[in-house]
Structure 1
Amino acid sequence: MTTLTTPSPSATAHRDSGGPRLLSWLLRLHRPALWAWTALVLVLGAGLLWLWGPLTDAAAAAWRQYNACDMRPRCAYDQPAILLYKDVEHYITLAVTAVPFLVAAWAGAALFGRELESGTAQLAWAQSLSPTRWLTAKLAFPAVLVTAGTGLLVCLYHLAWSAGRGRIDTARSWYDSLVLHTNGPTTVAFALTGLAAGALAGVLCRRTFPALALALGLTAVVRAVAHLAMPHLWPSVTHTVDRSEGPVVLGLEADSGLVTSTGAHVPVPRCDAMDPGGCSAAYDRLGAVGYYTEYHPFSHYWPLQLTTTALVLVLAGLFALGAFWVLRRTTGTARAAAKAGAV
């Protein structure tokens, strides 16, 4: 015979409590992560403000001094300002690029994997929360913080980059592989993908380190796929030049190759770059008369950003739906087994 237990009044009250009680529980449980995230956003934000104002102004003035030297052998200019700007910009760009991966690692390891491994999640399900509500709360509140923090960093980065555009001779182009994403909303979408990937990895692995590794892997794959797909998500512009001029870089490249005498576009054949004669002979055999480049000018920046962001958010949504599906399947199976054992 099995004994049916009645939930205590305190447990029932806790189960029926609303959003404020749940929010308080999340804040207590993940207070160290919240402080760490706040500190990260503040430090990077301060660095971007420094880059946006004093560093850009000092480096721009130094570049004006350098360009005014006009190849004179001895000419004074503020080289340390140029080097400091370059170093700070480089490390901040890497840090903002790494934010989605930090979110993925935390979500997979601490937010989901560790709680499922230690039994904290199962205790919450038994006392106060259904698995679905637990996962919803775990995703919704961090998603707001991740969106706000990453969005602020992206806005500040865009301001800092725009301040140096046309003033800093060595400033990165808008289509640089890192700037292309840290400069726009795709980084926010990557961060949300990291959160959703962490949820899926956590409910799949139910262990801290495997979930961390899987979340990082999924986020890296999404970023790589988005970067490769971006040039093909919006119609490009085709530019052709004579063979004697050589290929040119005009923007974000979608495709390039040779133009034959018939007007056909063919790939550049493999040849030894150290042997110009060998390459020339290969081009002659193809009847090449010029080069073509399919590219995106700067005016395509926002259409590319928005279409890529939409694609990444769809993938993030699929990860989140996958996490709910896996959790429902696993908890449903466990509950069915528990009921069968009780009978």
Structure 2
Amino acid sequence: MSTLTRDPARTAPAGPTRNNWIPRLGGPVWLVWRQHRAAFWTLIAVTLIGTLVMLWLRGQMMDFLAAQDPASRRSGGLPPEFETYVNPLFSIGSYLGYIPVLAGVLLGAPLFAGDLESGTAKLVTSQSVSRLRWLITKLALPAAMLALSTGVLTAVLTWWWDPVKGLSSGLIWTAFFSVTGVTPVAYALLTFTVGAAVGMLLRRTLVSMVVTLGIVGAIGFVWSEVWRKLGHTMSISTDKGVGHGAVPPELPAQAEQQGQGTYFLTDSGGRLDWTTCLDKMDNDRAHTACLESKHVVGWSLDYLPVSQMHTMQWLGAGIMLALSAAVVAFVILWGRKRLL
């Protein structure tokens, strides 16, 4: 009589093994990923490729700077060849400026409009998933992917630009204000949520994309007009006269001049427009006498210093995130009552 032994490995049930440590998507999260997987994979691919390209270009630039005399770098006396490294930095920064447009038009506008137009929204909300859960998941997953992708790209761009800012006129901080730091992430989230709200209201994908493009363009115009007002304008002046040999004040390094130009400073501390006594410019003696009659003692300039950049970016990002939260609240409240 023999005893039969069983091998546990052979008697284990057939089928694929699963690793418990691997996260698995399910429910609304899986559905949203499935619906927008093309956009998500595109975001991932663009992020990876863009990061690798910027790392490579930054390495080339830093090798070039390392070969230069440190004294020439501090004095701004870099050779003309340095511009060949500046142009890609400026160009890629300009390309990243289109992220908010693409986020609103290509990701935000079709988000709900596509489901409402195809009837998917009615199918999903008729299942066991609540309408609120579907709305939150539908917004949260693309927003997280967008914030991660934008944050990585702008962080690498900021790291690339930071060691050379101010070394060229094309690298002044105001040219990179909206594409570095926290601003691009908040900007992209704002346009994304605006696009989602437009799509929910209009219920047609193509129409929503066109309307969103117009709204995002308007947002961009308003932003370009107001972001400098987030900072505190400072002034610098002289009191050595404006005649022969007198020179206007020199702005601090990397500062951007504000206003319409140089103002005349009077002995009482007031300022006059640069066009004061302009009609006497043809006669030096008459021009000087005109300025003296108005008690002009020097020049005055308004400027924004680079030291305010980060504060302005955080303030602008806070405003955009607050607007995004208001749009999200509108989408959820409207969607719960009038989605179908």
- Normalised to the residue count of structure 2, the TM-score between the two structures is 0.74
Contact 2:90–2:171 (CA under 8 A) maintained in structure 1: no
CA distance in 2, matches of 1:135, 1:267: 55
Q: What's the secondary structure of 1:123's corresponding residue?
A: helix
**What's the % identity of the aligned pairs?**
26
The 3 A distance-change label for structure 1 pair 194 and 263 is same
How much has 1:297 moved relative to structure 2? 1.7
Partner of 1:192: 189
Q: Counterpart amino acid of 1:32? A: A
Aligned to 1:338: none
**Counterpart secondary structure, 1:38:** helix
Structure number with the higher helix fraction is 1
Query: Aligned partners of 2:206, 2:251: CA distance in 1, in Å?
Result: 43
Where does 1:247-326 land on structure 2 (aligned, <5 Å)? Answer: 250=252, 251-253=255-257, 255=259, 258=263, 259-269=265-275, 277=282, 284=291, 288-326=296-334
Counterpart residue number, 1:211 = 208
In 2, distance between residues paired with 1:323 and 1:104?
Answer: 15
CA contact (8 A) 2:100 2:187 kept: yes
Deviations 1:190-238 (A, max 9, x none): 0111211111111122111222233333333334434433333343322
Distance in 1 separating the partners of 2:337 and 2:250:
54
Post-superposition shift, 1:46? 1.3
Residue type of the alignment partner of 1:122 = K
Asked if 1:123 corresponds to 2:160, the answer is no
Q: Which residue of 2 aligns with 1:173?
A: 172
Residue aligning to 2:46: 40
The answer to whether the 8 Å contact 1:193/1:219 transfers is no
Distance 1:83-1:233 versus aligned 2 partners, 3 A rule:
closer
Deviation, structure 1 residue 21: 1.9
Amino acid at match of 1:194: T
CA shift in 2, pair 1:90/1:320, >3 Å: same
Structure 2 letter corresponding to 1:330 = R
> Displacement of 1:64 after TM fit?
5.5
**Any conservation in 2 of the 1:63–1:169 contact (CA below 8 Å)?**
no
Counterpart AA for 2:57: L
- Tell me: CA distance 1:281–1:141, structure 2 relative to 1, closer, same or farther (3 Å): farther
2:157: which partner in 1? 157
Q: For this pair of structures, how many residues does the alignment match?
A: 301
Contact 1:201–1:215 (8 Å) recurs in 2? yes
For structure 2, the 5+ residue unaligned runs are: 1-23
User: Partners in 2 of 1:116 and 1:286 — Cα distance?
Assistant: 69
Question: What's the secondary structure of 1:293's corresponding residue?
Answer: strand
Indicate how the Cα distance of structure 1 residues 247 and 197 shifts in structure 2: closer, same or farther if over 3 A, else same. Answer: farther
CA RMSD of aligned residues (A): 3.6
1:232 has 2:229 as partner: yes
Partner secondary structure for residue 239 of structure 1 = strand
Q: Is the 8 A contact 1:233 1:308 kept in 2?
A: yes
Q: Which amino acid aligns with 1:316?
A: S
Distance in 2, Cα, partners of 1:110 & 1:189: 20
Amino acid at match of 1:23: V
Task: Check conservation: 2:110, 2:199, Cα contact below 8 A.
Answer: no
Deviations 1:88-134 (Å, cap 9, x if unpaired)?
Answer: 21321112111111111123343222222222222222234444332
Based on CA coordinates, which of the two structures has the bigger radius of gyration?
A: 2
SS at match of 1:263: coil
The aligned amino acid for 1:230 is W
Amino acid at match of 1:28: R
Q: 1:54 aligns with which of 54, 60, 64?
A: 60
Alignment match, 1:93: 93
C-alpha distance in 1 between matches for 2:62 and 2:213:
34
TM value normalised by structure 1: 0.74
**What is the rounded CA distance, in whole Å, between the counterparts of 1:297 and 1:245 in structure 2?**
21
Q: 1:175 is paired with a residue of what secondary structure? A: helix
Separation in 2 of the partners of 1:211 and 1:288? 57
User: Is residue 255–residue 294 contact of structure 1 (8 Å, CA) maintained in 2?
Assistant: yes
SS at match of 1:127: coil
Maintained 8 Å contact 1:247/1:291? yes
Structure 1 position 268, deviation (Å): 4.6
Aligned counterparts of 1:62 and 1:202: Cα–Cα separation in 2 = 53
Contact kept, 8 Å, 1:151 with 1:185, in 2: the verdict is yes
